[in-house]
Structure 1
């Protein structure tokens, strides 16, 4: 969890933003969360009465602090999406909780912020079609499930085939990668994937899960990207969609290690690349 405070410090120290230009969201209301999640589960989280069986799936107890953070992360993705619609690119310094499902959290994820934001923008009429491209090392199984019944949302996941979750779900497009894939091979696959994300589909906004767990040093990853490889990946994604005038909102996604600052430095790459397109 320490990576989140570190990324804020790094963003300010590297001059990517000033304190007054870092926007802070108000916690997402219940009505937003219930666009993607079961009312009963939302109530369990907000009242901190999540059953022990669900808490085990999430990986930690849902306390008042955890519940507040989950609401803020979801609201942050909504805020970033609205900003991206105006500015072309915006980043949430959290989010990417792509394992959370309709009536349960999982894999360190409480609320699925991208599913919440996508469904809210559609409900408000801000957009007509939404693309989610998930390049976290783990499949975006929760997002796939939560959006499966909504033809206006296309979900794309490019992930390590043998990594968590053991039981994969069906995204609109899934690309399974073998263990140990390095920069060159990974970027070659990505170059073929990006055009497919738009085949027969014209999104009004793109949600980009920029998890850094494909990094070679990640504690929970099975791929072998370098810092340079992550930078090339991010640049390819932002460039592809911005060249087509499609707004992009990025969320942090996964990144795991015993050195929280080192993980935050990897996440900073996404913010640095995003700044090139603002």
Structure 2
């Protein structure tokens, strides 16, 4: 089992953006402290190459990121001020998802401590996402003929609008999203299968919907690899999620996904996605539960 970890989260950001970034340091630290993983299982990815990025994103947009020429309105849409460190962070995260996907193909499962930047489109970023790491990884693996069919299971509370748009009409990547019906993005794209969720949904209803969907997905898509976005912004403690899923419910969600995939011998690449609970411990504990469930179930 391989985990992409990142130590480049110290670039200047507004104060209200620094708090969510803490989880990227705290998650591996907690997993190490609890003996869930060893230092040998962590790795720091190299930056993704321009050639790889251009399999998914337009040259014009990539050059703006590379050369720091995003217009103010483009930066506002992303939500971050541009900086060389921010671009470096994004291309390292993207390569991390490629690396853990390759590891999953050989060993069953791989984790990215970050990733899940599903609001990035081919020609622009938004919602704190610059590059779409799942899309870049899927296109890389398809281009290298490592896979023929991918499935994206996006269980972040926000719809993966960028991912849906990037793979619209692409028969080789099936996009599935369970997300808040009345949450960001307020203009939804069309995934291959969307399940909009009512505000205030609790554990029972959420888990029943997922339990019904998973076997249909697996039988319909028959994927060579699943990209699983395990956002913990579904938690009742999340400031923006609008759902009522508990820590236990979030863990059962992860276990349900991993058991379904392992039963069918489907490898899984996992990225953390969002989480905006008031207390950082709630975010970190929920993300660590995802790691623990995947490691336990995939063995």
The answer as to 2:177 corresponding to 1:177 is no
After superposition, the C-alpha distances for 1:206-233 in whole angstroms (9 at most, x for unaligned) are: 0000000000001110111111001100
d(CA) in 1 for partners of 2:257, 2:131 = 25
The answer as to 2:289 corresponding to 1:249 is no
- Tell me the SS of whatever aligns to 1:200: helix
Aligned to 1:40: 60
- Tell me the SS of whatever aligns to 2:226: strand
TM-score, normalised to structure 2, is 0.91
Q: Any conservation in 2 of the 1:6–1:261 contact (CA below 8 Å)?
A: no
Aligned to 1:230: 250
Aligned to 1:220: 240
Structure 1 gap ranges (5+): none
The answer as to 2:58 corresponding to 1:7 is no
After superposition, the C-alpha distances for 1:36-74 in whole angstroms (9 at most, x for unaligned) are: 111111111122222111111111112111111100110
d(CA) in 1 for partners of 2:286, 2:218 = 28
The partner residue of 1:126 within 134, 138, 146 is: 146
After superposition, the C-alpha distances for 1:77-125 in whole angstroms (9 at most, x for unaligned) are: 1011000001111111110000001111110111100000001000000
After superposition, residues 1-278 of structure 1 pair within 5 angstroms as 1-276=21-296, 277-278=298-299
**Aligned-residue CA RMSD (Å):** 1.0
- Change in 2 beyond 3 A, CA 1:49/1:258: farther
Structure 2 gap ranges (5+): 1-20
Q: Any conservation in 1 of the 2:97–2:271 contact (CA below 8 Å)?
A: yes
- Tell me the SS of whatever aligns to 1:43: helix
d(CA) in 2 for partners of 1:102, 1:149 = 15
Query: For this pair of structures, how many residues does the alignment match?
Result: 278
1:196 Cα deviation after fit: 2.1
- Tell me the SS of whatever aligns to 1:235: helix
- Tell me the SS of whatever aligns to 2:240: coil
d(CA) in 2 for partners of 1:97, 1:123 = 21
1:262 Cα deviation after fit: 3.0
d(CA) in 2 for partners of 1:6, 1:220 = 21
Q: Any conservation in 2 of the 1:139–1:165 contact (CA below 8 Å)?
A: yes
d(CA) in 2 for partners of 1:183, 1:37 = 37
d(CA) in 1 for partners of 2:130, 2:82 = 8
d(CA) in 1 for partners of 2:185, 2:132 = 16
d(CA) in 1 for partners of 2:41, 2:176 = 31
TM-score, normalised to structure 1, is 0.97
